[in-house]
Amino acid sequence: MPRAALQPDRRELLRWSSMLAMASGIGGGIGSAQAAQSSPQGGASEPASLSKKMIGYMLAHEQFPIGDILRIGKNASQAGFDVLATSDHFQPWQANQGHSSMAWVSIGALGAQTGQAWMGTTVTCPTFRYNPAVVAEGFASLARLYPGRIFLGVGSGEALNEQAATGEWPKWQERWDRLIEAMAIIRGLWSGQDVAHKGQYYTVNARLYDPPPQPIPLLAAANGKKSMRLAGQHADGLVTDPATWKKHKQEWQEGAAKAGKDPSKMPVLVEHYVVVGDKSDAQQAAELWRFGPKAFDTLYNVRDPAEIQRRAEANTPIEKVLSSWTVSPDPEAHIQAVHELFDSGVTIVNTHSGQADQNKVVDFYGNKVIPKLG
């Protein structure tokens, strides 16, 4: 059957539309996680908002082992970060980053240790090493454990994850066609209805017997003109970087409008690199994240993290890496950078620091930045 077979009946669509509106608009605000308490089951007492101005913290599985990820995430939640975002990689971007634990395991463990903070991936590729039906089941289970706190970020993948683990790495258009089909499958299964889907790439005849208790926001990553338009059209929200947002915001808005959505009500998560200190403090972090300026230019097509590192060191000066980061020991510089992103329409500023001392960054933001963002 065509993809239209995924659609539940009209009453079910209306019910989910109403629930999604509630999940997108209740409560929230900067630092709301700081005062929240978890229920005995680990879920939030009421859903926070994923569409208002929020401050997130990036838990980089590429750089830290899973035990450290849990400690950093717990500290970030206690410091007042509203969102805990995790990378979802099979390998690190660069070999010298040294780690790559399973993101879903981290989220499951983190939820029991944190309060009301949202948790999710930025991003999961649901098309090659993960089957979209399995992604739907995994995040539905997380949402039942921690209702009102789970989002799913999806993307078209990188060779270092998808090709390395499966041998498959088709052209951009096929990867995005697969992603669009996967998102339809995931949404269909989350509805709790029977899904009979025979598409171009996937066949699913199943239902989730434990669907999520309320809609899970489904965000899509985009890094160029065409992908920004497709993300706006097919996803509930966006994951991107500051430069792409500034350059292609209009395409994202056009995509959302084409699908009959109001982009002003959709979450926009932007990954914002910071260093608490001066340029000498930033050197080590920049070495580990040196691939960044060319990540979605050429390096996403490279399978081997050691080769990505070699190319980054050969072709990307440290000054280029740091040129888009906020590097300062002054809280006002960090506050200003966050406000500028909010003023541009970003709803979630996802703070990412490659510094070895993550507690320094978390404490700095918790004590000197987040309290002044309200």
Active site residues: 89, 158
Closest CA to 124 of 156, 160, 84: 156
What is the DSSP code string of 187-208? HHHHTTS-EEEE-SS-EEEE--
CA distances for 263 relative to 122, 123, 198, 248, 350, angstroms: 20, 20, 31, 13, 19
Tokens of 227: 């992908």
Asked whether the beta carbons of 195 and 205 are under 8 A apart, the reply is yes
Whole-number Å distance between alpha carbons of 362 and 222: 27
Q: Which helix (H) or strand (E) holds 254?
A: helix 242-258
Tell me the C-alpha distance between 250 and 222, whole Å. Answer: 13
The Cα 225–Cα 189 span in angstroms is 30
- Please answer whether residues 40 and 48 qualify as being in contact, where contact means their C-beta atoms are separated by less than 8 angstroms: no
Beta bridge partners of 121: 86, 152
- Residue 291 class from Cβ within 10 Å (0-12 exposed, 13-18 middle, 19+ buried)? buried
Nearest to 82 by CA among 335, 292, 348, 307: 348
